[in-house]
Amino acid sequence: MPLHILVLGGTTEARRLAESLVAMDGIKVTSSLAGRVAQPKLPPGEVRVGGFGGAEGMAEWLRAHHVDAVIDATHPFAGTISFNAASAAAAVHVPLLALRRPGWVPVEGDRWHVAESLAGAAELLPELGRRVFLTTGRMGLAAFAPLDSLWFLMRSVDAPEAPCPARMEVLLDRGPFSLEGERELIRRHRVDVLVTKDSGGDATAPKLTAAREAGIPVVVVRRPPVPPGVRVAGTPEEAITLLGALLP
């Protein structure tokens, strides 16, 4: 019987991890996607789409599908699923590890303002600028909706839904983004403040360089914590090494 690994996905790293795992002998991989993106890039191996029905639903799924280990490779800001995975894995005594790309670190010349949440970021904005490049995704836009005096360039993969800021231009696009492209967006739209989650990784980092070059402030929303006791790998390769140590 091959070992059945459940990869909670929705990120580039999760896809890379699934690619590596399917190439290994004796392993069966199922990737799980939330189903938020209309046309996701699918990983190799088996794929299931949609919520489990909370931690209990996931525990049931792990049992029914004889899962041997779970790798939570979801986005660093997908906090609910990570805590559900921790409860579910503990309930059915299945090893769990998290794959989290490292967060970004400011360098000389950066003008970062750290916020604890999207609401905290929205509070900071009126002091920092008038023309906002908002790159926190289409979920949670309600936090920015009351900011009538500010203009927003909002970039996301799929179109946002109300409530949204009144003065907002939507740019539908999916990373990776180039430094040249980010410079051009900031220049053309006369952006004077950038808002981002601390997602980490290279694909969306050029906006930070472009903001530094332009001398504009950046509001960086801090990550939610990883559930206590969960071992964390920074790369798919590290996750596979850690998996080897966790499995019998």
Ligand X SMILES: NC(=O)c1ccc[n+]([C@@H]2O[C@H](COP(=O)([O-])OP(=O)(O)OC[C@H]3O[C@@H](n4cnc5c(N)ncnc54)[C@H](OP(=O)(O)O)[C@@H]3O)[C@@H](O)[C@H]2O)c1
Alpha carbons 76 and 82: distance in angstroms, whole number? 9
- Closer residue to ligand X (CB): 72 or 192: 72
Smallest gap, in angstroms, from Cβ of residue 11 to ligand X?
Answer: 5
* Residue with the CB atom nearest ligand X in the bound state: 51
Give the end-to-end CA distance of the chain in Å, rounded to a whole number.
Answer: 14
Phi first, then psi: give them for residue 231, nearest 5 degrees.
-70, 140
- Closer residue to ligand X (CB): 77 or 152: 77
Token pair, residue 136, equals 């926190």
Among 205, 18, 176, 172, residue whose Cα is nearest residue 102: 205
- Closer residue to ligand X (CB): 40 or 181: 40
Element (H, E) at 221: strand 218-221
Smallest gap, in angstroms, from Cβ of residue 130 to ligand X?
Answer: 25
Smallest gap, in angstroms, from Cβ of residue 188 to ligand X?
Answer: 25
Site residues for ligand X per CB under 6 A: 8-11, 32-34, 36, 51-54, 57-58, 74-75, 77-81, 84, 137, 197
Sign of torsion, CA 111 104 83 173?
positive
Smallest gap, in angstroms, from Cβ of residue 223 to ligand X?
Answer: 10
- Closer residue to ligand X (CB): 11 or 68: 11
